[in-house]
Structure 1
Amino acid sequence: PIKVKEGTQAGPGILVTGHDLMDLWDLLKQVEGTAVKVYTHGEMLPAHMYPKLGGHPNLAGHYGGAWQDQKREFAAFPGPVLGTTNCVLIPPESYRGRLFTTRTTAVPNGQRLVDGDFSAVIAAALEGAPCEEQIVGESTIGFHRTVLLDRAQTIVDAVKAGQISHFFVIGGCDGAEKGRNYFSDYAQATPPDSFILTLGCGKYRIRDHDYGEHLGLPRLMDMGQCNDAYGAIAVAVALAKAFDCGVNDLPLTLVISWFEQKAIAVFLTLLHLGVKGITLGPNPPAFITPKVFAILQERYDLRLTGSDAQADLRLAMAA
């Protein structure tokens, strides 16, 4: 786990959004020896937990939140923005000339880079307006599955001793439509002797609240990108093995926000693994028709987010 500064430092800067950590690494290598600072945005935040990336002198911190806020955040960031994967919106005139994308990621009238040469982005940072010194805080990230698995026995012992009441996985793909405050309401209502694992851009719905610590660990543990859902599964399987039970027998509740295809892939993976009792929302995917939902409800105890997050939480704790 590592603390990451949020905001900008004085001088030229580049903002990197998306998911591709190799693009970030290639950019960092190309800005070595310059005054250009590189900042992560959105799902690139977990880059800081990897020593090789987080320890690079040109990686300066994190700026901004989830993808749906990028039109406001990119307009306010003075330097160029590099979009590495699909979570990039069609840019307005205010920053269209500063937005670059990589390979198959593209926007109309955008500047697409196809060969990993980021010299145009670096030149735009050096020639454009610099960032101001504006550090707005810091956050702790980096609860990679290896970190949690290293402490698995400690966690198991604490559960057996009655020191941990429940685990919640609250995260997924975020969006802008109404109803997503459900996830922040749910997280803030969790009991003080429980832990929340989060991943994906859905973390931005819940990460600004201070959940405090329990047993010397922060109650909110950021496991990484939406792609790191594998890590949450690995931790759950390891805990089930330690308790000599099934994953569905653990004091574990999954509250997942969905928006697009990656989240659907994760959801189908969880069903294939036989995980039951998932709460999904704020609306069901389009393919979950009433008849399909009835089957999933019967076989997997699938639930949709309701209108009262605290009532849903009480049901989960009583199960």
Structure 2
Amino acid sequence: MFCIQCEQTMQTPVGNGCQYAMGMCGKTAEISDLQDVLVYMLQGVSAYANAAREVGVVDADADAYIPQAFFSTLTNVNFDETRLIEYTAKAIETKVRLKAAYEAACTLQGVEPRVLAGAGQFEISAEKAAMLSQAPATAVNRGLSDVGEDIVGLRLLVLYGLKGVAAYMEHARILKKQDEAVYAEFHRIMARLGEDPSDLNELLELAMACGHLNFKVMEMLDAGETEAFGHPVPTKVNMKPVAGKAILVSGHDLIDLQHILEQTKDKGINVYTHGEMLPAHAYPELGGKYPHLVGNYGSAWQNQQKEFANFPGAIVMTSNCLIDPNPGAYADRLFTRNIVGWPGVTHHTGQDYAEVIAKALECDGFKYDEIPHYTMTGFARNALMAAAPAVVEQVKAGNIRHFFLVGGCDGDKQERNYYTEFTKAAPQDTLLLTLACGKFKFNDLEFGDINGIPRLLDVGQCNDAYSAIQLALALAETFDCGVNDLPLSLILSWFEQKAIAILLTLLALGIKDIRVGPTVPGFLTPNLINHLHEQTGLRLTTTVEQDLADILG
């Protein structure tokens, strides 16, 4: 195996990464290799989807399927070899269908079909042994000895960013938000990656194209969520258990939570969010409608083995990030949904949650109420826009000196205490925006307010970076300046591919001087880091004291 897509990777140089019997995330070498073969096959399918569009052939089923299957290869998503082989089998069928449709359209139009290169020519059977035999040829660091670490590192930057985009595309599709132009651009980038480009400038352009694409997808996902559940409103959420039977919902897909809430009404079951589902409480059609959505249990994804083991009810993983459930002995009450999978864990399909409800009623539930402890969420796009005039007034009055967006992925490395210490050290005349599971490093702290404006504003899930961008654009328009002229600094934590997609979005939009940590993504070589720093000001976090001094002068 070779995998270097997340911050847990064992070694950082592009030639190393996780390459032993098991990755740090818990996936085996065979799972990693099956994922590589699937990704390369999907790039070949995209090659035909891209070519087919040139002759007017659009396959909606292929458009929906390819990002979905690509999503299955993200960190902490699917560890089930049977499902990965099934995805590959469907990819093979899809490629055969697209190729036939493309060639038929070329014949009708008197056009010579293009001979596709790279992944477009890849053929394989959907059998485990056959797939594993092709793993070396499809490894994501293929060609390293020929093109060098910088080129492979850039290929991986685009590939991993596009994985994050694919995940958001699938989240949006579930909410019935699809766009033919988005699919066309996705296939274009995916197909080109399957040809192993080796020009540095072209790869940088592909990275920025990936960022622009992700911005459009986040806009679609924002529309899907707000149309389905209303615009989030600032909401106080209890972070402690209350007595009663219980279901815990983790992941990102709000529609799954809605179905569970609707089907547990009047059944004496309390529903809790976990991790990135915390912002659900702020949506009027979720937290505002169902009183048995009683609070949030636990914190970020990396603590789930302990927290899930202590949760006395059924647990539903709607999307990433899943960790091996076996050490905590809760696999028998864990249910995966959508693209998530673990061998031996029940995979729930359809919208009838009777099995989950039965398991919750069978479990003990919480015996007593704990003393409530609250956090705030719901400062998404509309709430931020409504607060903007008051914020502008406080800025003009000199009461707000600077804005810090401190958010991103959480993780268990000791260096991540930086984000806790940074928010605690930020001066009292600064505002803190946060999003994604990185918020759990500090969202239980009390930061006070500035003349009625809370100093900590939880924007929502990782995809709600879209809301933060909208606020920045609105403030720049109000102050008649560029976004980079605002007193705004982005302090981001990365872990996996969604964070890379968001970083590429910010860079593509021209936002400069972003700080990212706690470590350099392993696929970015020193040369690439230097290049990105020269072009965009991107830099690594250092110490809290040094970074605050550099930012605030």
**TM-score higher than 0.5:** yes
Q: Is the 8 A contact 2:399 2:450 kept in 1?
A: no
Which residue, out of 341, 364, 367, partners 1:129? 364
Residue identity opposite 1:79 in structure 2: G
Alignment of structure 1 residues 155-194 onto 2, 5 Å: 155-194=391-430
Q: Is the 8 A contact 2:299 2:440 kept in 1?
A: yes
Shift of 1:90: 1.4
Alignment of structure 1 residues 209-220 onto 2, 5 Å: 209-220=445-456
Distance in 2 of aligned mates of 1:9 and 1:147: 29
Q: Is the 8 A contact 1:103 1:115 kept in 2?
A: no
Corresponding residue for 1:87? 321
Runs of 4+ in structure 1 off by over 6 angstroms are none
Task: Report which stretch shifted further, 221-230 or 49-58.
Answer: 49-58
Corresponding residue for 1:35? 268
Q: Deviations over 1:70-128 (max 9, x none)?
A: 11100111101100001111102511111101122111211101212211110001111
Residue identity opposite 1:57 in structure 2: P
Corresponding residue for 1:72? 306
Q: Secondary structure of the equivalent of 1:229?
A: helix
Q: Is the 8 A contact 1:16 1:41 kept in 2?
A: yes
Shift of 1:274: 0.5
Q: Is the 8 A contact 2:391 2:453 kept in 1?
A: no
Matched, 1:112 2:347: yes
Distance in 2 of aligned mates of 1:287 and 1:130: 44
Q: Is the 8 A contact 1:9 1:131 kept in 2?
A: yes
Matched, 1:280 2:513: no
Shift of 1:228: 0.5
Distance in 2 of aligned mates of 1:317 and 1:18: 36
Shift of 1:287: 2.7
Residue identity opposite 2:262 in structure 1: K
Distance in 1 of aligned mates of 2:295 and 2:510: 39
Shift of 1:188: 0.7
Shift of 1:265: 0.2
Distance in 2 of aligned mates of 1:32 and 1:159: 45
Q: Is the 8 A contact 1:16 1:81 kept in 2?
A: yes
Q: Secondary structure of the equivalent of 1:53?
A: coil
Distance in 2 of aligned mates of 1:314 and 1:211: 20
Corresponding residue for 2:125? none
Residue identity opposite 2:356 in structure 1: V
- More helix by percentage: 2
Task: Report which stretch shifted further, 255-264 or 135-144.
Answer: 135-144
Shift of 1:161: 1.8
Matched, 1:45 2:281: no
Aligned length: 317
Alignment of structure 1 residues 137-148 onto 2, 5 Å: 137-148=373-384
Corresponding residue for 2:128? none
Structure number with larger C-alpha Rg: 2
Q: Compute the TM-score of the two structures, normalised by the length of structure 1.
A: 0.97
Distance in 1 of aligned mates of 2:293 and 2:422: 33
Distance in 1 of aligned mates of 2:377 and 2:443: 10
Corresponding residue for 1:101? 336
Q: Is the 8 A contact 1:185 1:310 kept in 2?
A: no
Corresponding residue for 1:312? 547
Shift of 1:134: 2.1
Q: Secondary structure of the equivalent of 2:422?
A: helix
Shift of 1:151: 2.1
Corresponding residue for 2:250? 17
Q: Secondary structure of the equivalent of 1:14?
A: strand
Corresponding residue for 1:290? 526
Distance in 1 of aligned mates of 2:472 and 2:492: 15
Residue identity opposite 1:49 in structure 2: A
Q: Is the 8 A contact 1:165 1:193 kept in 2?
A: yes
Residue identity opposite 2:321 in structure 1: C
Residue identity opposite 1:17 in structure 2: S
Residue identity opposite 1:220 in structure 2: L
Distance in 2 of aligned mates of 1:117 and 1:135: 34
Q: Secondary structure of the equivalent of 2:511?
A: coil
Q: Deviations over 1:199-228 (max 9, x none)?
A: 000001121221111121221111101110
Distance in 1 of aligned mates of 2:365 and 2:406: 37
Q: Deviations over 1:244-281 (max 9, x none)?
A: 10000000000000000000000000000000010000
Q: Secondary structure of the equivalent of 1:232?
A: helix
Q: Is the 8 A contact 1:6 1:135 kept in 2?
A: no
Shift of 1:192: 0.4
Distance in 2 of aligned mates of 1:299 and 1:242: 27
Distance in 2 of aligned mates of 1:137 and 1:26: 27
Shift of 1:154: 2.0
Residue identity opposite 2:524 in structure 1: I
Residue identity opposite 2:298 in structure 1: G
User: Identity, % of aligned pairs?
Assistant: 50
